């Protein structure tokens, strides 16, 4: 066992640095504890205060503005976890290696792991016992073909067990999810009020953007509060049959949040990790019926029908093992959905669809209705094939809009006018260089342009897409408009469009074909 320094040797300091899902501790290079114990930078340490303990990665500094020699600093997340005030006495010790480290080494060498191995690894990940280097090794070792389907099941099951599992005490709890990669695809914000207006329970806890210009939580945050205590979220669901909230406060599959913090900078999104991430979150949230959207297209995450079918079978296998009813739908991912890309622009599109506005994007409306119809058909009182018509009636009658307004008010409404949305005041337009037909829109590049403009951190930034696949344009006509709030963001977005506008013009027969379910 390692020797713990006297509890009153150091006092706690909050270091206002966001280290994104990694606990970081800071010691001054002249600290007596640092020199006596032989700590090394980037090593794992155990910090104790008032009967609580956390594990953290050690950073060493010579700057007294960050931490004084008699202080121990903690990053924002770590400080929140330790749960004491600045100035409180703290102790620090060398941390024991994670108990699962041998299982990790076996996976790195390509061995197949069992249920107990994954349970041990995920417990250590959720407890922040792994350094970012060890987490990266795990993510890379399980990338692509390094997990068989039973290992994906073991990983998913372990991730569910690592946090809270909700029980709504309802026979049927539904949800809808998309694997991502398509800008503007805010169908959840339409599906949820439609199915809730019908009476189904749909507790939608969504993530913020990871690699996109907006996640569902980012867009919903334009309309209402999305961060709330779990008890308040639970009361909203019980009163209104649904919510549209950020899932970070519910402690659902916490190991997934830690893994995402590594997958994002590595730009890795392996099928096994994707399945484990999505299904663990949905099952932990109490859902027992899920409609899953897999878009395919030349610049989507999934590029071909064989790849989509392979991913579908993996999702279905793991969902079946875990007792989740799953309906996978393969959709058209050749271009962005809707007109807006960025939180305010996407919120405008959603509200226009709910209001049956003449300028509402029809592709967003139709896709949402079909997905909502599939969810409605899990109700035993609805015959197969009738879901779409029922969903359309709920939307056209205004019942979905009324339900959305109820959810917004319950979560804490924010001022928003879809007729005059608060968009970034700095703009420029990208125009067609010649006559032609829009034969391609690069999802990835279009998302990057919106991000360069400031989305999602700047809510009013993004891209207003004015042309879609198959539309004819004349030279000089506007293809899309970029909105930004800061000159630097506008300049970055303009540079990105000059390198690649993301839109291809050609002849009608050059448009990519796609074979999807709707």
Q: Which residues are catalytic?
A: 269
Q: Is the peptide bond before 456 cis (omega within 30 degrees of 0)?
A: yes
Backbone angles phi, psi at 402, to 5 degrees: -60, -45
> Which structure tokens are listed for 72?
């121990």
CA dihedral 17, 18, 24, 28 (to 10 degrees): -10
Tokens of 154: 């073991």
Residue with tokens 């010649």: 434
What separation in angstroms does the CA of 225 have from each of 32, 128, 217, 402? 46, 29, 9, 18
Q: How many CB atoms lie within 10 A of CB 398?
A: 14
Q: Are 241 and 191 in contact (CB under 8 A)?
A: no
Q: Is 152 exposed, middle or buried (0-12, 13-18, 19+ CB in 10 A)?
A: buried
Distance separating alpha carbons of residues 258 and 20, to the nearest angstrom: 9
Between CA 318 and CA 322 the distance in angstroms is: 6
CB 247 within 8 A of CB 277: no
Q: Cβ of 458: how many Cβ atoms within 10 Å?
A: 18
> How far is Cα 38 from Cα 59, in angstroms, rounded to an integer?
13
Strand ranges for 310-416 from DSSP E: 325-332, 340-341
Token match 């009658």: residue? 397
For 23-182, list the strands marked E by DSSP.
Answer: 24-28, 44-49, 52-61, 71-74, 89-94, 174-178
């Amino acid at each position: 066992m390692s020797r713990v320094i006297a509890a009153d040797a150091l006092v706690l300091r909050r270091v206002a640095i966001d280290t994104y899902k990694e606990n970081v501790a800071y010691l001054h290079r002249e600290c007596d504890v640092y020199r006596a114990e032989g700590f090394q930078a980037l090593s794992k340490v155990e910090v104790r205060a008032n009967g609580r303990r956390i594990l953290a990665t050690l950073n060493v500094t010579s700057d007294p503005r960050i931490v004084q020699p008699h202080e121990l600093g903690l990053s924002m997340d770590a400080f929140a976890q330790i749960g004491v005030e600045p100035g409180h006495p703290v102790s620090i010790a060398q941390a024991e290696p994670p108990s699962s480290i041998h299982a990790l080494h076996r996976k790195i060498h390509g061995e197949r792991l069992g249920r107990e191995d994954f349970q041990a690894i995920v417990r250590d990940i959720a407890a922040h016992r792994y350094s970012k280097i060890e987490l990266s090794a795990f993510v890379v070792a399980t990338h692509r073909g390094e997990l068989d389907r039973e290992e994906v099941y073991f990983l998913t099951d372990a991730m569910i067990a690592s946090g809270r599992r909700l029980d709504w005490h309802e026979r049927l709890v539904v949800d809808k999810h998309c694997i991502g990669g398509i800008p503007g695809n805010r169908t959840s914000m339409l599906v949820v009020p439609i199915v809730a207006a019908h009476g189904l329970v749909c507790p939608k806890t969504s993530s913020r953007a990871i690699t996109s210009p907006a996640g569902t939580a980012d867009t919903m945050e334009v309309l209402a509060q999305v961060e709330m205590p779990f008890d308040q979220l639970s009361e909203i669901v019980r009163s209104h049959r649904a919510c549209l909230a950020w899932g970070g406060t519910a402690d659902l599959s916490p190991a997934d949040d830690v893994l995402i913090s590594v997958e994002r900078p590595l730009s890795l999104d392996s099928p096994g990790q994707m399945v484990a991430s999505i299904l663990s979150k949905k099952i932990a949230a109490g859902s027992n019926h899920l409609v899953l959207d897999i878009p395919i297209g030349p610049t989507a995450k999934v590029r071909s029908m064989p790849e989509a079918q392979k991913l579908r079978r993996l999702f279905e296998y793991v969902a079946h093992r875990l007792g989740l009813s799953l309906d996978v739908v393969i959709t058209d991912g050749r271009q962005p959905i809707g007109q807006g890309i960025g939180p305010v622009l996407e919120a405008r599109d959603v509200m226009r669809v709910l209001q049956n506005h003449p300028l509402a994007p029809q592709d967003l409306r139709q896709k949402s209705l079909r997905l909502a119809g599939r969810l409605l058909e899990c109700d035993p009182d609805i015959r197969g094939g009738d879901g779409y018509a029922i969903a359309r009636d709920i939307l056209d009658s205004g019942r979905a809009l009324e339900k959305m307004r109820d959810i917004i008010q319950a979560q804490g409404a924010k001022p928003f006018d879809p007729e005059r949305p608060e968009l970034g005041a700095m703009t420029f337009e990208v125009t067609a260089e010649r006559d032609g037909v829009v034969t391609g829109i690069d999802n990835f590049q279009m998302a990057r342009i919106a991000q360069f403009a400031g989305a999602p951190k700047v809510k009013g930034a993004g891209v207003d897409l004015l042309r879609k696949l198959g539309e004819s344009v004349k030279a000089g006509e506007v293809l899309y408009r970029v909105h930004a709030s800061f000159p630097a963001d506008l300049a970055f977005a303009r540079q990105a469009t000059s390198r690649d506008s993301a839109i291809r013009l050609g002849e009608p027969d050059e448009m990519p074909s796609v074979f999807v379910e709707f």
